[in-house]
Amino acid sequence: MSRARFDELIHAPTRLAIVSLLAAADWADFKLIRDEVGLSDSALSKQLTTLEEAGYVEIRKAFIGKRPRTSARLSKAGRAAFEMHVAALQQIIDRSGAPLR
Amino acid sequence: MGAQARLLLSGAPARLVASATTLERRRGKYLPGRKVHVSFPGGKVLAEWVMGSVMNEYVRPDEAAESLAEVRRRQQQLIDAVLIPGWYWWVVAAAMIAIGLAVDTRRPVVLAIVIPIAVAILAALTGAMIFGAYRRARVRSRELLGARGAASIVGFVWLVVGLTLGSGFALRAAGSSAPATIATVIGGAALLIGGPVLGRRLRQIMLANRAGASR
């Protein structure tokens, strides 16, 4: 189990959803994240920028033919922060003795 | 910088501190004291990060459980988005049976037409499925599937191939009039039954190996 550290930046509901999705992927397409999390393009862009500023996410922009394609992935720091955040959540539950849903 | 702020920043990732230092030096903002800076590239990022050091004291266990459930749900979502769809097994089974039927006609013309078409359809659909999934998201297959996942896939392929070829040869030896057709029907049935079972097993393995899963 990772060292526990609660991360408020990741804990915000929308960002938790994005980071959780990205944690299972090497790269995920912008559209996939948008559709799975249910955000508008601009809202997702804003959240990804916040995560990128924190060094948690890397954004890659490429062209397939003439179409731009944006994808994102968790950086090493982002993955570590996510794992520590999950460990912190688990710790909160363990301390209280409440069952995990 | 106050002692409390210094304490809060003491666990800051080195990268963040370093980038702040560079940026602030460029802007010419220094704290009275010397090397340490409190302003980060994104003020919001810093504020939320600093809050994180103390927030966990105020997160209730039920909220934490809710958040962990959300983490699991989102990771399931991504894994489901890239798993083999149910229709794929039907297409592979149909192509196999078509080849079996063609073999049993023993007519070279039929074989020359049916086999390339069946193989082309299979290759095109498999390619489209893999490329489509790969374009949407590249799952951490090595970490998520691991040796157990790889062994499950290889084992399933060998099971279907072995069952199809084994039953085909056995039927031919027993003098059946349509050994290839019957063998591919058996193989196709194995695909239709085993394919979704394999999918569920891979899903379970990936969920067990996902980042942040309790081990």
Measured CA to CA, the distance from residue B177 to residue B173 in angstroms comes to: 11
- Which residue from B minimizes the CA distance to A92? B61
Does B136 sit within 8 Å of A31, measured CB to CB? yes
Residue B68 falls inside a structural domain: no
Lowest-pLDDT choice from B37-46, B111-120, B174-183: B37-46
Chain B residues in contact with A93 by the CB 8 A cut-off are 61, 64-65, 68
Residue A89 falls inside a structural domain: yes
Q: Check residue B51 and give its pLDDT.
A: 52
Q: B136 and B47 in one domain?
A: no
Question: Is the Cβ of B144 closer than 8 Å to some Cβ of chain A?
Answer: yes
Residue B177 falls inside a structural domain: yes
Q: What DSSP character marks residue A40? A: -
Residue B69 falls inside a structural domain: no
Q: Check residue B57 and give its pLDDT.
A: 60
3-state SS, residue A70:
strand
User: What does each C-alpha distance from B38 to B5, B15, B22, B45, B84 come to in angstroms?
Assistant: 8, 14, 12, 12, 49
- Higher-scoring residue by pLDDT: B20, B71: B71
Residue B67 falls inside a structural domain: no
Does B137 sit within 8 Å of A27, measured CB to CB? yes
The mean pLDDT value of chain B amounts to 78
- Which residue from B minimizes the CA distance to A15? B71
Per-residue pLDDT at B21 exceeds 50: no
| pLDDT tens digits along B141-167 | 778 888 899 999 999 999 999 999 999
For chain B positions 81-100, those within 8 Å of chain A (CB to CB) are: 81
| pLDDT tens digits along B57-99 | 678 888 999 999 999 999 988 888 888 888 899 999 999 999 9
Does A89 sit within 8 Å of B67, measured CB to CB? yes
Number of domain units in chain B:
2
Give a three-class secondary structure readout of chain B: CCHHHHHHHCCCCHHHHHHHHHHHHHHCCCECCECCCCCCCCHHHHHHHHHHHHHHHHCCHHHHHHHHHHHHHHHHHHHHHHCCCHHHHHHHHHHHHHHHHHHHHCCHHHHHHHHHHHHHHHHHHHHHHHHHHHHHEEECHHHHHHHHHHHHHHHHHHHHHHHHHHHHHHHHHCCCCCHHHHHHHHHHHHHHHHHHHHHHHHHHHHHHHCCCCCC
User: What does each C-alpha distance from B111 to B5, B106, B184 come to in angstroms?
Assistant: 78, 8, 15
CB atoms within 10 A of CB B91: 17
Percent of chain B with pLDDT over 70: 71
CB atoms within 10 A of CB B197: 11
Does A37 sit within 8 Å of B78, measured CB to CB? no
Question: Is the Cβ of B214 closer than 8 Å to some Cβ of chain A?
Answer: yes
Residue A20 falls inside a structural domain: yes
Residue A2 falls inside a structural domain: no
Residue B72 falls inside a structural domain: no
Per-residue pLDDT at B22 exceeds 90: no
Q: Check residue B59 and give its pLDDT.
A: 82
Q: B52 and B95 in one domain?
A: no
Number of domain units in chain A:
1
Q: B50 and B15 in one domain?
A: yes
Q: B188 and B109 in one domain?
A: yes
Stretch B103-119: mean pLDDT = 93
Residue A40 falls inside a structural domain: yes
Q: B127 and B88 in one domain?
A: yes
- Give the number of beta-carbon pairs within 8 Å between A and B: 146
Q: Check residue B13 and give its pLDDT.
A: 45
Residue B29 falls inside a structural domain: yes
Q: B87 and B52 in one domain?
A: no
Q: B96 and B194 in one domain?
A: yes
Q: B99 and B160 in one domain?
A: yes
Q: Check residue A41 and give its pLDDT.
A: 94
- Which residue from A minimizes the CA distance to B144? A24
Q: Which residues of chain A have pLDDT under 70?
A: 1-2, 98-101
Residue A47 sits in a domain whose CATH number is 1.10.10.10
Q: B175 and B104 in one domain?
A: yes
Question: Is the Cβ of A75 closer than 8 Å to some Cβ of chain B?
Answer: no
Question: Is the Cβ of B114 closer than 8 Å to some Cβ of chain A?
Answer: no
| pLDDT tens digits along A9-26 | 999 999 999 999 999 888
Q: Chain centroid to CA A29: how far?
A: 13
Q: Check residue A68 and give its pLDDT.
A: 83
Residue A1 falls inside a structural domain: no
Task: Domain of residue B122: give its range.
Answer: 82-209
Task: Domain of residue A68: give its range.
Answer: 8-93
Which residues neighbour B117 within 8 Å (Cβ) at sequence distance 6 or greater?
none
